[in-house]
Structure formats: structure tokens, C-alpha cells
Amino acid sequence: MTLKITVYSKSACPQCESAKMLLKSRSLDFEEVKIDDEAERLAFYAKCGPSVRQMPQIFINDQRVGGLNGLQAALAQLGR
């Protein structure tokens, strides 16, 4: 099964780097979308939901799994 993984990140974000390293270590391809502009980032958070206030935000097959912890849980569930 091919996974479509999108990582929304910002510069100088340790959690973003950790998420990308985790995906690379498992040889999983992903698309990165950097949102460094604060106004754009706030608009993105608003689209994700009222509880979203941090980066990274990771989507697998167009479903938001959340940040680094959500990614780890999703990969475990998928057996990856």
C-alpha cells in the first residue's frame, strides 16, 4: 500500500526535523510544505481545527494524524 504523506512544517522546528528524520529512517517518501509566514500558519491552523497550534502537522492519505507523536502512532498502526 502506497502512503501519501505530507508534512507541514516551519523552519527551525526541532519536532519537524524529528518527524522528517523518522520518515527518512523508514524509507517513506513524503512531501514537505513549509509555512514560515505566521499569518499563513495561523490560517492553516484554523483549517485544521481549534486545537491545532503547533508544527509539524502531518497528513497520511489526506487524513491529519497530528504532530510527531501522532505520526509515530499512525506508523505503528500501519505496521511501518
- Cβ atoms within 10 A of the Cβ of 65, count? 20
**Domain range for residue 34?**
5-77
Q: How far is CA 1 from CA 4, 7, 61, in A?
A: 10, 19, 11
Q: How many domains does the chain have?
A: 1
| Domain harbouring 69, CATH code | 3.40.30.10
Phi, psi (5° rounding) for residue 62?
Answer: 70, 15
pTM for this prediction:
0.94
pLDDT above 80: residue 1: no
**CA 9, 13, 19, 20 torsion-angle sign:** positive
SS3 content of the chain, % helix, strand, coil (to 5): 40, 20, 40
pLDDT above 90: residue 8: yes
